[in-house]
Amino acid sequence: MNIKHVLLVEDDVELARLIKSYLAQHEITVTVCNHVQRANQTLLQQSVDLLLCDINLPGKSGFDLVAEIRNKFVGPILFLTAKTEMKYQLHGFELGAQDYLLKPIDPSLLLAKIKVFDGYVSQASKTSSIISEHNLSIEVKSKVVTLASTVVNLTKAEYLLLVALLQQFGQVVSREWLFQQHLGREYDGIDRTMDGRASRLRKKLQAVDPRWNVVTSWGEGYFLSFEEDSCP
């Protein structure tokens, strides 16, 4: 299986544009994300053959991203960065990256590096990814949500919210980010659409196992919690 779809995580807009344009000439589709949360979401929702990732990114770093997705993403990972120190290169390989490329890089060399992995994407990449915490799991490809061995029926909006929260389990996912990614608009400080979705998702989860909760962090967003000491 050849590399056909690359996820480029890069906040340098001009560099991302140049890479995307050059690879497109060689029949490689490039999806560009400029921060880790968006990249994580893309990996869940799309089929990606190779991850090309900068290290210095707003918020979380490229190292953080790879640490989070290494057990869920089976394709090759290449770091593309200006960090030349050996300690960064070693850390990249320790995280499971297949290559560590230094900026600036000639586009033809980058293409050659990517082509090395033609045929690398194994049959495992065709299997469904699973996100899970405790007794809650999401089969990403089929979009089946299972809680305590019970299938939970969710609307598309509730499913997307759960994916975002479970992916960042225990961490606050901002309301602003959810509005941008799920509704395609900026949060105006008044709209309660996402609050309604969080409330409905909470009720459906707790109807199966009351130890689960969608917690509202006032002024920030939402996070998913599980009370291990409570009785189901």
* Residue carrying structure tokens 């953080």: 64
- Same structural domain for residues 106 and 25? yes
Q: Are residues 78 and 53 in the same domain?
A: yes
End position of a domain, from candidates 126, 148, 170: 126
Is residue 232 included in any domain, yes or no? Answer: no
Residue 100 and residue 157 in one domain: no
Contact criterion met (CB below 8 Å) for 95 and 70:
yes
| One domain for residues 120 and 148 | no
- Identify whether residues 116 and 140 lie together within a single domain: no
CA distance 91 to 176: 32
Closest CA to 45 of 55, 62, 31, 57: 31
CA 16 to chain centre: 18
* CATH number where 186 lies: 1.10.10.10
Domain check: are 35 and 116 in the same one?
yes
Q: How many domains is the chain built from?
A: 2
Residue 31, strand partner residues = 7
Q: Which among 68, 98, 126 is the end of a domain?
A: 126
183 plus 153 within the same structural domain: yes
Cβ neighbours around 37 below 10 Å, total: 21
Among residues 126, 146, 176, the one where a domain terminates is 126
- What CATH number is attached to the domain comprising 55? 3.40.50.2300
Within a domain: 142: yes
What are the angstrom distances between the C-alpha of 197 and each of 58, 169, 172, 177, 203?
28, 17, 16, 15, 10
Residues 108 and 9 in one domain: yes
Same domain, 109 and 145: no
**What is the three-class DSSP state of 216?**
strand
Which domain does 38 fall in, by range? 5-126
Same domain? For 40 and 80 the reply is: yes
- Contact 232/206 with Cβ under 8 angstroms? no
Mind listing the pLDDT tens digit of every residue in the chain (232 residues)? 688 899 999 999 999 999 999 999 999 999 999 999 889 888 877 788 899 999 999 989 999 999 888 767 778 999 999 999 999 999 999 888 999 999 999 999 999 999 988 876 543 344 447 888 999 999 887 789 999 999 999 998 899 899 889 988 888 888 888 888 788 788 888 999 999 999 999 999 999 999 999 999 988 899 999 997 644 4
Q: Are residues 104 and 13 in the same domain?
A: yes
**Same-domain pairing of 82 and 117:** yes
Helix, strand, coil percent values for the chain (each to nearest 5): 40, 20, 40
Q: Distances in Å between the alpha carbon of 106 and those of 82, 88, 173?
A: 14, 21, 37
For residue 42, being part of any structural domain is answered with yes
pTM for this entry: 0.57
Looking at the chain, how many residues does it have? 232
